[in-house]
């Protein structure tokens, strides 16, 4: 089965630094997502992206966050100035057409630790 690929699997950064988390969605998928999961808590929606623009975002996704699809394959999440509370597992996901009945394919996640 095709996979969503995320790199790196672990990222450690100092508070205030910028980080970029990378994802390669499944090639024929059109909808891309970022979710995060703080340790032991539920999976929270951050942002969805379609047709080269943000289609939906949550309250968590403030000005410190941005997403980009710099080329035909990568999808990135940038955190401009990391805070301690940004420490979490970040999941990238994709779906083919974003239909109601369509599952999301998740990557294996990037564990971000902000020190």
**Residues in contact with other proteins by the rule CB under 8 A:** 31, 33, 35, 41-45, 48, 50, 55-56, 58, 89, 91, 93, 98, 100-109, 111
Beta carbon nearer to other proteins, 14 or 42:
42
Provide the minimum distance between the beta carbon of 54 and other proteins in the complex, in angstroms, as a whole number.
Answer: 10
Burial class (CB in 10 A: 0-12, 13-18, 19+), 83: exposed
The Cα angle at residue 83 between residues 79 and 89, in degrees rounded to 5: 65
Q: CB of 66: closest distance to other proteins in angstroms?
A: 18
């Amino acid at each position: 089965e095709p996979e969503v690929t995320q790199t790196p699997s672990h990222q450690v950064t100092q508070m205030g630094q910028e980080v970029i988390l990378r994802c390669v969605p499944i090639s024929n998928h059109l909808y891309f997502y970022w979710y995060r999961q703080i340790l032991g808590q539920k999976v929270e929606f951050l942002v969805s992206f379609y047709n080269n623009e943000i289609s939906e975002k949550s309250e968590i996704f403030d000005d410190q966050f941005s997403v980009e699809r710099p080329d035909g394959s990568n999808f990135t999440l940038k955190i401009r100035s990391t805070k301690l509370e940004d420490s979490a597992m970040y999941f990238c996901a994709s779906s083919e057409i974003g239909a109601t009945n369509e599952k999301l394919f998740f990557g294996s996640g990037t564990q971000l630790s902000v020190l």
